[in-house]
Structure 1
Amino acid sequence: MDKTAIIDIDNTLWQFCDAFYEELIKVNPNFPTTDNWTRWDIWEGYCSEQDFNMAIDTIHANQDSEKYQPYFEAAGFLSALKQNGYHITIASHRSPDHRKPTERWLKRHGLVFDDLHLSHHKTDLFSVSTKVVVDDAPQVLEKAVELGALAAGLLFPWNKAYSGNGFRLCNNLNEILDSILKQ
């Protein structure tokens, strides 16, 4: 593999935070809306960390639900990377127990990939062949920058403050694709 693109799923290929908010308000109707999610520990004061993680697992276990649609440009984004010679590794911070619904969702929506990595340690995948990392988590993007990869993600309230840390935050996947193809 000469060049690998490691692509996240949640808040990269689809709007996970909206589905997540729907689950969290079942736990606490006073949970703040997604535009107020500026910290990673957003559950504090609203629910337990266990309830927070259960909400995530509920969505991931049901990823192949018809209500969870990818971003409009997600299929074209991945196809363009593939056409430009990238080996695509989809890497998601989720339990390997959710592999089947994740694979069904990716395939149902025509989201091309070569490998699927589900674990809580995405950065373990990073190597000299990693040329591109697309993720919404600043700590993942910062690690990619340290290793010399082009790092980019979609702009959200929780990553906005990190935008000067060597990676690019964009409004959509087409902007990210343009920056990748121009490198």
Structure 2
Amino acid sequence: MSDSNQEGPILAVDLARRLAGDAEYQAALSKHEVDRAQAMAELSAAERPIVIDLDDVGIRVDSVWDLLNSTSRPPFYSDALPVLLHHLKKGGYPDRVLDGLARALTVKPQGTAYWIDLRDAYLKTAPESEAATGLANALGVLAAKRHYTELTRLVTDERRGSERLMMLKAVRRLGGESGRQVLGDLALHPLLGKEASHLLRRVRR
């Protein structure tokens, strides 16, 4: 027999009401909102030089991340690429901004010409960082056959982190038998093994 004084499940609306009256929770929420707004303002200020340079070539955005919306890319998007590359090579930006630059440069076929520059920028990032992930993604997507040897070096570099997962598909796409061998060698890797094994199974089908 159930205890008649035991409370049943709390409905979302009831929980919202309770939290609305919880002064400690509201103070923590307010601090979180203030911290988030401050972080966004700092990022906006950091990428302001990029936004200004984009405006100079006729591309008006509020953030580098605005360029990633493929449904509304400016008609002269190719004009943005040298600007983005310049700021990526310049460096000194927060991880979130570098990630945005890398992803905005991940455009085929133009971005393939910047592969070595993207590699150099990637090697300057901290493993497991947001910037490293964005740049590893760009390297994987934009890699051409001529980049395969260097790509495998990056994938097997144990000084790097799990961002290398972003380059494994390119190893399969470009490597042929050599790519299958690389994936096979990584099948038991603690970070890369699961994805390498999955890609290897797809190759063998």
Give the TM-score, by structure 2 length.
Answer: 0.28
Q: Bigger radius of gyration, 1 or 2?
A: 2
Q: Which has the higher strand share?
A: 1
* Structure number with higher relative contact order (C-alpha < 8 Å, ≥ 6 residues apart): 1
